[in-house]
Amino acid sequence: MSNLDIKAFVFDAYGTLFDVHSVIDKCNELFPEKGEEISQLWRQKQLEYSFLRQLMGTYKTFYSITKDALYYACVQIGVDLSDEKEKKLLDSYLELAHYEEVEGVLGELKSYQTAIFSNGSLDMLIPLVEQSSFGHLLDEVLTVDEVKQYKPTPMSYQLVLQKLGVKREEVLFMSSNPWDIAGASNFGFNTAWINRQDRVMDELGVKPHFVYKDLNGIVEHKS
């Protein structure tokens, strides 16, 4: 039992609800020798480009950024990215598997507001949620694209309050990304870091309120 009065359980998408490992598998399939290296650089640049474009004030959608990052990774690593391979790789983002506990946990939260809040644009998020088995258990799919402010800016998290009609302290926000947890804590959400890979928290001056190895732990915050 928790002392918090949580009204909304809000989830990051990539790495938190959905396992991006199938993107890595697709990279390995299309580039047998260099799949690992490409998928790693692709993900690194995808994040970096969202941060840098936010800093420069030149927002474009996460789908476009994901495409740019893939192109960069392939040129830098020296592999040929055909139109067909590009399509297969980008499409793999629309068909990610989810972590096994997701459906059960969302099922337990039926009496609360539940939402995804992601840097992803709706052209990525909607097909992803629709092909999953738990779309009906989510009240909202929220994207930073609506305000053109990438996480972890405070302005981005503000959208959650506006859309769900709750206060900061009534939100429990889950992410497996340390920088997202830092941003959400800094904004004033209660945060649960889903530390699936037993990593160390980043040194950004803010800590998660809770740390779990998967999403099962969060149900203790039902009041």
In this structure, what token pair is assigned to residue 60?
């474009």
Of 193, 119, 107, 188, the closest CA to residue 154 belongs to 188
Q: How many CB atoms neighbour CB 126 within 10 A?
A: 15
Q: Which of residues 146-185 bind its own copies (CB under 8 A)?
A: 150, 152-154, 179, 182-183
For the CA atoms of the chain, what is the radius of gyration?
A: 17
Binder to its own copies among 5, 55, 100, 220 (CB under 8 A)? 55
Question: In whole angstroms, how close is the CB of 83 to its own copies at the nearest point?
Answer: 17
Closer to its own copies by CB, 71 or 134: give it: 71
Please tell me what DSSP assigns to residue 213.
S
Residue 72 binds to its own copies (criterion: CB under 8 A): yes
Q: Side by side, which strands form the sheet with 210-212?
A: 140-143, 113-118, 8-11, 171-175, 190-194, 210-212
36 binds its own copies (CB under 8 A): no
Provide the minimum distance between the beta carbon of 76 and its own copies in the complex, in angstroms, as a whole number.
5
Phi-psi region of 191 (alpha: psi -120 to 50; beta: other; left: phi over 0): beta
- Number of chain positions touching its own copies (CB under 8 A): 33
- Residue 32 or residue 78: which is nearer to its own copies going by CB? 78
Asked if 12 is an active-site residue, the reply is yes
Q: How far is the CB of 198 from its own copies (least distance, A)?
A: 11
In the chain, beta strands by DSSP E: 8-11, 18-19, 97-98, 113-118, 140-143, 171-175, 190-194, 210-212
Of the candidates 2, 34, 68, 214, which one interacts with its own copies according to CB under 8 A?
68
Active-site amino acid positions: 12
Residues near its own copies (CB under 8 A): 45, 48-49, 51-58, 60, 68-69, 71-72, 75-76, 150, 152-154, 179, 182-183, 186, 199-200, 202-206
